[in-house]
Each structure stands twice: as C-alpha cells, then as structure tokens.
Chain A
C-alpha cells in the first residue's frame, strides 16, 4: 500500500497496555454497533435486542447462571488456547479436542465399572488425556515435519465429529433410548454436582479458574513459560539456546487439548448426562474460544473476563431466540463481527500514523 508523503506509518515498538485495552474495547463497541444496524435493517429494534440480551444474560439469577454455564467451556478452552497461541501454535482444533474429551468422559462413565468415588476424577483425567492426545498429534506433525497446524487441527475436528456420530449411531447407542442416537444416561455417580438450582457444574468451573491462575503463573514466572514464549516469538533463538521446539510445542498442545477435553467432560457430565450429537455437545465452543483467547491477548487471567463476555453473548442468543424469534445463529454474527473488528483494529496497535512532513525516516 502506498501512502501520501505527508503521512507516515511506522511500527510501534511496544504498545502500552492501556492502548491495547482501549482499542479492544473500541473494536467490540464498533462490532456491536454494526450488529445493531443489522438488527435495524432486519426490522428489529437494536435497543430492544440489546436490552433483551442484557436483561436475559445478567438481569436475573437464572440468566446469570446460564451465562456462567456457557462461560465454563469457553473459559477452559480459552485458557488453553492462550498457551498454544503463545507457542505460536494455531490450534483451530479445540472443537475436536472437546469432543474426544466428551467421548472419553462418557465412555469411562458408562463402561469402566470403576467405584463411584473414583468415577468423576477418572472421567476428568480421561477427558484431559484424550483431548491432549488429539492436540499432540498435530503438535508433533508441526514440530517434527513442519506440517501446517491450522489444517491438521481443523481436519481433526471433523474426524472427531464422525467418531462421535459413529459411536452414538453404532456401538454406544443406548438400548434404553428407544432408537434415538444417544448413549444411555450416565450413572448417577458420574454426574457432576451443580450449584443448587442451576446448571453450573462447579467442579469444571473450578478447574477452569484454577487453570487460568496456574497458567498465568507458569507463563509469567517459570522457565517453562519462558521457553514457550521464546519458541513462539523467536524460533531461531529457541534453537540456538537449546530449547527443544518439539517438546515445548507438544507441551503447549497437551495443555490446550487437555483443557478442551475437560470442557467436553463438563458438557457431557454436567449438562447433557449422555453422549449425543456433536452439534448438541458443543455449540461451536472451540471456535468461539479462539476469539476469547484472542481478545484476552493471550493472557490466561484475562480469559476469565473475556469468556464471561462471550458467555453473555451466547446466553443472549438463547434469550432473543425466544423473545424476538431470531435464530441462535445470530451469535455467529456477533462472533464474526467482533473478530473482524479485533483483527482489523490490530493495525492501530502495531503501527502508528504520523502526520506532517517531519524528518525522513531512514
């Protein structure tokens, strides 16, 4: 792109954090305004729509708890993605990692025959391992063979979808479900405790919050966290300083995939109580969490905030489905617009514009 001579665009060395925050907030506001214009064009009052969303998501106890219920998988996956993205690994496959985690959780619940007390811990562990394994395959392929991570993680999402489809139509189809494509209901001991009167399965939420805090500490304060950052920001430096790229990439994806797997266990054992069709297990959490992590600027603690925000939007989708008769797909309009405005506004953070005929930059 060519600019007039009085206009200088130059790289900003280190953007101050207030600026990152302001630009991100501005991007969200603009996205919501554009979405509002879309409401108006569609014949729905934007004020009414946003009013409904806010009231429905935050204005009542039920609304708030449903917002948190939506937030749980976004938090877990989003926290993991900050680590993967820090290692510059493009994990677009959280959706699949969530699904294989759900499979592992449901499988252990239904068929392991473990004593009741061990069941839930085993399910979480199994979900973590399944998600981690699903994530470490593309990590290995990238670190060892240089294979594009975007493509492999994306493709594995669909493989996971078809594994779930196969299980619920075939070998795991529940005999008590009268021909529906579900597994049987999970045994009572496998069902996650929820805060009374809500669908907040708190053990999963607690794992998510703990992961955010622990990973924040690891990334900022430990040697491993330092190595993850080096591999992401400067692979050459990592090589020269003897940091194993393979090991670090695999580790980052073990964390990212594993947390997504735990999110899958949470959905199966905390919300649905069975394994069912992939579109019903995950409402695109794996993709939405990419925005969650991106908006949090790869800061695990900030994910608590951003996942809550997207929880509000998803709950908002549920609400205006009923109050305005708009399809849940509307959430994708928000997601898409916010993402575009976020990445579009990044140029404001990375570059600055100077006006005037000032000294020639070399």
Chain B
C-alpha cells in the first residue's frame, strides 16, 4: 500500500470512528459543566443505537431514526436527572444504574432486530470541490457520513455557546458555584436538567450514528464500552468542546492504528491508551490551581439545595 492511500484511509477512518465519540463527549461536557456527572453515557448511547435502528428500519427514513434516537435517549437521561437533581441521589450510582438499565432494556427489546440488515442506511456524502484536493480530499471530504460534519459544526457551536454567550455563563456558573448562581436568579435545577438532557440527546445521536451510518446493523452491546471512553475524553478535553474535537479524533486514531499497526504493536496497548491517558491527565493537572484553570467544574457531583446551602 502506498503511503498516500495509507494516510487517506487513516484520516477517513479516524473521522468516521471519532464522530460518535465526539457527539457523546460534547453532551457529557455540557452535563458536567452544569455540575452533573453522568456515567450513563454507555446506556444512553445504546438506547439511541437501538431506537435509531428500529425507527429507520420501520420507516425507511434514517434522519427520522436519528431524530427519534435523540428524543428517546434525551428522555431516558431524565431518569438520571430526576434522581440526581430532584432527589439529590448519588450521581455516580445513578449514572451506573442508567448504564445498566440502558444495556438491559436494549438487549431485551433489541432481540427482535438482531441480525437484520438495514435497507435504508444513512447515505454517505462527498463535498464537491474539496474532495478534489489531493490526499486531504479523499481522506476528509469523500464518502463520509453527513453526521461527521454536523458533529464538527456542533463542536464549534457548543463551544461558542458555552464560552461566548449568557447561556454558557449560566451553565458554567451553575457548575462552579450553584449557590451564587441561584442568588443571581439562575434556576439551578432547570439549567442542570437541560444540560443532562442535551447530554442524553447527543449520546442518542452518537448511538444512532453507529447503528444507521457507521455499521448499519443492530447487535446487543454494540457500543462496546465507547461510553466509558467518552467519560475519559471529557476529562482529556478539559471540559472544552473544541478540545473535545481534537481529543475524539486523537482517540479514534489510536483505535484505528491499533489495527493498522498490529504487526508491530499489540492492538490492546493502543486500545488501552485512552483510559491510561485520562489518568495521566488527571495526575498532571492534580495541582489544585492548574485543575481550576483547566476547567474542572468545582460543583461536579454535588447536589444543590437551597435549604442546606
């Protein structure tokens, strides 16, 4: 294989595999920025994947499948929101419960869809003009799912909202210091509910991308631990959507290269890298002030109540 086609396929596969990571990470960044850790990503993704597949194969419309995947996974995430925000239950446990429930429900309900081909998968597109650029064209702008570009646009949009608008200030205030945010007239519970739901919807789209675009099919447990990579990525990205963009592609490249470099390196080593790197990042930024500057929300995992301040 020539080096040129090697680069092309690496670029192209990295974008394809990085997209669900990016989508779900953007959602988790919003949830965590508002102060709610959601360990239910894996569960929300798998629910989205099943919904996307079921709706698409029922209606023949993949876009409807993706839309409903967002809606259903968004609604599903509200279970975590209700438990952790309204009932002030432990966020770690509640998130784990959401993942268990999502894996369980999708495994049982999805039984009927197992092994069925998807006749109306989401078509791939090429960007006219840009696809003609040597190497970069076929690598980035040819035969990709439209969701790849939508995800990139979303990363930019969500970065702008988070850091350049009043809404973003509210979200970050609620995640940093809910009591002060409350006294400034921000409805802490509402902001947190919305952020968790955004997280759920994006995880749902990420899941649907897997089942209607990336590998049009349904298999039990098809998210295969991606949701946990997302938890790692959120830290790796310092809770910043634009860094999430780079992080998602970096991890996706590692994943892709774990197959390509099999002859030289055990693939398991590269596959374990995201998890190891997340720990390394945490160690590096563990000096208190640095961590603050890097964006870790201070009130992450802390429920807020007015009475107890």
Contacts and interface: CB of A to CB of B under 8 A. Distances in A.
Given A290-B96, A333-B108, A340 B269 contact: no
Interface in B26-74: 37, 39, 43
A332 interface: yes
Interface of A: 1, 9, 11, 38, 42, 90, 92, 141, 145-148, 150-152, 154-159, 162-163, 165-166, 169-170, 287, 290, 294, 326-337, 339-340, 343-344, 346-347
A152 B97 contact: no
Given A162-B268, A340-B79, A347-B87, A332 B107 contact: yes
A90 B91 CA distance: 11
A29 B90 CA distance: 21
Closest 10 CB pairs of A and B: A329-B107, A336-B101, A332-B104, A333-B104, A339-B97, A336-B100, A343-B89, A166-B268, A162-B272, A145-B286
Main SS of the interface on chain A? helix
A344 B96 contact: no
Contact of A147 (B93, B266, B276, B282): B282
Given A152-B279, A166-B266, A347-B89, A146 B288 contact: yes
A169 B269 CA distance: 12
B94 interface: yes
Contacts of A90: 92
A343 B87 contact: yes
Interface of B: 37, 39, 43, 79, 83, 86-90, 92-94, 96-109, 111, 189, 220-221, 225, 228, 231-232, 235, 266, 268-269, 271-272, 275-276, 278-279, 282-283, 286, 288, 305, 307-308
Label chain B's interface by main secondary structure.
helix
Choose among A150, A336, A344 the residue with the greatest number of B CB atoms under 10 Å from its CB. Answer: A336
B282 A151 contact: yes
A344 B87 contact: yes
A1 B108 contact: no
B271 A340 contact: no
A294 B100 CA distance: 15
A169 B93 CA distance: 34
A340 B101 contact: yes
A90 B111 CA distance: 34
A290 B93 contact: yes
6 contacts: A42-B109, A151-B235, A156-B279, A170-B266, A329-B221, A336-B97
